[in-house]
């Protein structure tokens, strides 16, 4: 057996034996009350009872003393049985005679309403007053900041010193007991919750409505051919000799044909009017001044906002592609003209993947037309954009 078990068993046995034989379970007896009594017989008890003094039944009880009547005061009035006289009651005035009921009036006939066959005249509604339309609120624009923090911090005032602790400017008070040192106001540096890129700049909210295409000039009217008429020469007068019949009149000569040069000029004028062999150039869209830097930047940011490069591979992100396309007069891209003219920095598969991402951005953002001036259509008709996924820049 284990030594611990032996020690535990011996201890338990000793404890139980001490409880049983040591007297710990015994209780002390309760104390008894002792009283001394004397034993007597019945005869002795009868003698004791009979010897006690019995009360006398013949004792007379004295009657109580009579009560004295209270003294009657001298000024008490005499009471008589005669009733007091009744007070005088005023008699009510006699009621006036009721007036006779008035004779009933004959009923008044109700007036009949006038009925007209004419239709009622409906007044025209008042003209609606023009209400001023409230100015549309500006589109919220994320505020760029050089520092990124969990909470957005507004930029401090120009004269405020940058510090992590916000402290108001303290001015020394001469009336104070303890002079207060002058302290400059401090504020934390401006911070934003995310990095604001150029792609997050919103596009212009308004765009110029495209102008209509100029009408083709009407054809010039066909000039009438010039004709030359020859006057007939008068016939020679006959001799004044008498003749039985009048002299016959000569027939007029036929009109001479127009010169060949005049016929050729008419044909040239007709061909010029019909546009067959005309040397006049066809009117084209006005060239206008070149695009400004702001107009180019607006189109670049519009395309960049739709450019998604999250699904490109690592090799495609390092590939720079140049895409060319044409625009209609309403500034919408023509799908069939979108093409890749150059690619650098990757394989053909990576270049194709980068080109497809650029093509989707052009089609998606150009569905509603870019904000470009119509008078400069000749300047932005053909567009070339350079897509650099590595820096997410478009040129």
Tens digit of pLDDT for each residue in 325-344? 999 998 899 989 999 999 98
Q: At a CB cut-off of 8 Å and minimum separation 6, what does 29 contact?
A: none
Helices 348-365 & 293-305 angle (0-180, nearest 10):
110
Contact between residue 371 and residue 302 where contact means Cβ atoms under 8 Å apart: yes
Beta bridge partners of 320: 344
Whole-number Å distance between alpha carbons of 267 and 273: 10
| Mean pLDDT rounded to a whole number for the chain | 70
Whole-number Å distance between alpha carbons of 348 and 218: 53
Handedness of CA 377, 381, 386, 389 (dihedral sign): positive
Report whether pLDDT(10) > 70.
yes
Handedness of CA 174, 180, 182, 186 (dihedral sign): negative
Listed by start position, the domains of the chain span 293-394
Count of C-beta atoms within a 10 Å radius of residue 43 = 8
Report whether pLDDT(25) > 90.
no
- The better pLDDT of the pair 371, 248 is held by 371
DSSP state of 319: -
Q: What is the mean pLDDT of residues 216-227?
A: 60
Q: Note if the pTM is more than 0.95.
A: no
Q: How confident is the model at residue 275 (pLDDT cuts 50, 70, 90)?
A: very low
Beta bridge partners of 322: 342, 386
Q: What percent of the chain has pLDDT over 90?
A: 11
What is the pLDDT at residue 154?
77
Q: What is the mean pLDDT of residues 140-151?
A: 66
What are the distances in angstroms from CA 85 to CA 23, 79, 82, 285? 109, 16, 9, 138
What CATH number does the domain located at 293-394 have?
Answer: 3.30.1150
Whole-number Å distance between alpha carbons of 390 and 304: 13
């Amino acid at each position: 057996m284990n030594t611990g078990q032996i020690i535990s068993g011996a201890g338990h046995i000793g404890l139980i034996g001490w409880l049983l034989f040591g007297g710990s379970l015994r209780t002390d007896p309760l104390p008894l009350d002792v009283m001394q009594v004397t034993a007597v017989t019945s005869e002795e008890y009868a003698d004791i009872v009979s010897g006690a003094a019995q009360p006398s039944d013949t004792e007379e009880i004295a009657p109580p003393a009579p009560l004295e009547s209270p003294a009657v005061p001298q000024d008490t009035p005499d009471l008589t049985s005669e009733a007091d006289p009744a007070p005088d009651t005023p008699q009510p005035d006699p009621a006036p005679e009721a007036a006779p009921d008035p004779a009933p009036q004959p009923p008044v006939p109700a007036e009949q309403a006038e009925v007209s066959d004419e239709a009622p005249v409906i007044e025209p509604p008042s003209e609606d007053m023009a209400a001023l339309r409230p100015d549309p609120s500006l589109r919220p624009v994320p505020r760029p900041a050089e520092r990124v923090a969990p909470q957005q911090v507004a930029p401090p005032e120009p004269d405020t010193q940058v510090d992590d602790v916000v402290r108001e400017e303290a001015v020394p008070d001469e009336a104070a007991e303890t002079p207060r040192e002058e302290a400059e106001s401090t504020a934390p540096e401006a911070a934003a919750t995310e990095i604001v890129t150029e792609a997050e700049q919103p596009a212009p909210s308004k765009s110029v409505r495209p102008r209509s295409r100029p009408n083709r000039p009407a054809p010039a009217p066909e000039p009438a051919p010039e004709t030359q008429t020859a006057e007939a020469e008068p016939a020679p007068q006959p001799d004044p000799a008498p003749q039985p019949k009048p002299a016959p009149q000569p027939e007029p000569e036929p009109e001479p044909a127009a010169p060949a040069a005049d016929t050729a000029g008419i044909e040239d004028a007709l061909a010029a009017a019909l546009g067959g062999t005309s040397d006049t150039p066809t009117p084209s869209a006005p060239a206008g001044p070149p695009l400004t830097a702001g107009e180019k930047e607006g189109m670049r940011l519009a395309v960049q906002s739709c450019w998604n490069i999250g699904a490109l591979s690592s090799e495609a992100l390092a590939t720079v592609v140049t895409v060319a396309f044409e625009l209609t007069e309403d500034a919408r891209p023509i799908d069939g003209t979108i093409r890749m003219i150059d690619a650098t920095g990757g394989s053909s598969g990576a270049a194709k993947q980068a080109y497809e991402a650029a093509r989707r951005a052009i089609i998606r953002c150009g569905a509603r037309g870019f904000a470009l001036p119509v008078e400069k259509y000749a300047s932005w008709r053909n567009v070339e954009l350079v897509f650099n996924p590595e820096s997410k820049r478009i040129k």
